[in-house]
Amino acid sequence: MKLRRLHVAGALIILAWLASLGWLVRREYFGRTPGEVSASARVAPGAVFFAIYLGGQQIGTGATTVDTLADSVRISGRADVLLPDGNAGRRIRTTTEVRLGPSLALTSFQSIVAGDAPGVSVLARRADGGLNIRLRWPGLGEVTRSARASALPHLAVPVRAVADGPLEEGRRIEYAIIDPLSGAVRPMAYIIGSQVSFVVPDSAVLDSGSGLWIPAHMDTVPAWSLESEDGSLESRMWIDQQGFIVRAEMPNGWTIIRTAFEIAQLNLRAGRPHRSRSSRPLVYTGRGSAPPVVGSDTAAAPLIPSDSQAIVALVSRLAPDSLPPEARARALFDHVARRIVPGEGAPDAVSALREGRGSATSRALLLAALARAAGIPARSVSGARFASGEWRPDVWVALHLGEWIDVDPVRRAWPADSLRFPFRIDGSGHPLEVLAPTARLLRPRIPESSGRTP
């Protein structure tokens, strides 16, 4: 009798163990919605380090860490750079943290820029089926906007690209990308290229003769390129099968290359940075094809408040619907060019309108906001303008009137005068956007442009 009771007890224990094991498997790999947790389960944790280059010279260091948590994936990024600015330099640090849920949808994102430049922060959190994006600029205060729930920061693109499907040549992927300096959200499409192999250091040793850290062991890493579909300066990167960057050419002009921690960090701290032969200068090649009009070109954004009551009221007065689109656009352009005088301060379109003065960036943002409020596709553009024999950072506006045309309300130029090289659409003019790519530009060898968007 006692033996039978032991058998029954043992059987019950085994059944309970199997039930709990089945529940655990279901929770981990299926969850409440089948497939949700399995997406995050495919993400590989790890950390990689980078040397950051400008024109072949190392200007900083970076790192990306991916942690797989019980109910989310955390991606952390950091970069420390010294950017050229005339005869001086600016030390700027960026820190980023991304949280992805079980299905790898964004749950939160925080980006902070600090150092010798305006301190900017962007915070995005999931709320009410979408995202709330909060932007902070010194002197601007806090601006909050809603965005689509599918939006992602650039840092999360490699992880999502790997988890969303195989890395196959020719595959097209598209994400709505959150800009870490303006809070704007724009669609961006990538085309996956063929597989290539990179040889990178995965450990380092101190060379007693030179006093430098040198590779101790090299690793061959297969990688696939992700290149912007429109061929613009937006981004080009090579990622491995785990979703880590091996090499990238970034929108802010950096080239980042994976290497060992000691080579990236300690050699630079010792004042003996490494040089890269693979960084190429930017060359102006004249007018190219501009990206097509998208929904965000007529939507309100944190720095382009086209839904502001003051902006809507001015549009109703200056550019009634009875006028043709170009006449409406010219009326708005003339108002900004003639009525808003030069000033200083944060990129603030509403303040520029209210006070009748503003920085070059504020006036460009104001014109973009007025145009969008009138239903005219418009973009603020951060880039460089060639004048007096050199490239200089600048901000202007692109309007779509049958085709994209550059206009410059600061210089009252319709179309915009001189050669222009765009770096960032819906930009803010922040030094992090414009200093590095401006320094990479070579002197052009062609006549000045007609002002059409290159």
Q: Which residue has the higher pLDDT, 29 or 415?
A: 415
DSSP-derived secondary structure for 368-425: HHHHHHTT--EEEEEEEEEETTEEEEEEEEEEESSSEEEEBTTTTBSSPPSEEEEEEE
Given a cut of 50, whether residue 451 has pLDDT beyond it is no
Given a cut of 80, whether residue 277 has pLDDT beyond it is no
Mean pLDDT value across residues 171-190: 92
User: Cis peptide before 305, with omega less than 30 degrees from 0?
Assistant: no
Mean pLDDT value across residues 38-60: 83
Rounded Cα distance between 401 and 406, Å, is 11
* pLDDT at 259 (0 to 100): 94
Task: For the chain, give the mean pLDDT.
Answer: 85
Rounded Cα distance between 37 and 374, Å, is 44
DSSP-derived secondary structure for 345-372: SSS-HHHHHHHSEE-HHHHHHHHHHHHH
* pLDDT at 301 (0 to 100): 94
Residues 382-397 pLDDT 10s:
999 998 888 999 999 9
Rounded Cα distance between 432 and 445, Å, is 27
Residues 292-344 pLDDT 10s:
888 899 999 999 999 999 999 999 999 998 899 999 999 999 999 999 999 98
* pLDDT at 210 (0 to 100): 84
Q: Would you give the distance in Å from CA 207 to the centre of its chain?
A: 37
* pLDDT at 338 (0 to 100): 94
195, 221 Cβ separation under 8 angstroms = no
244, 186 Cβ separation under 8 angstroms = no
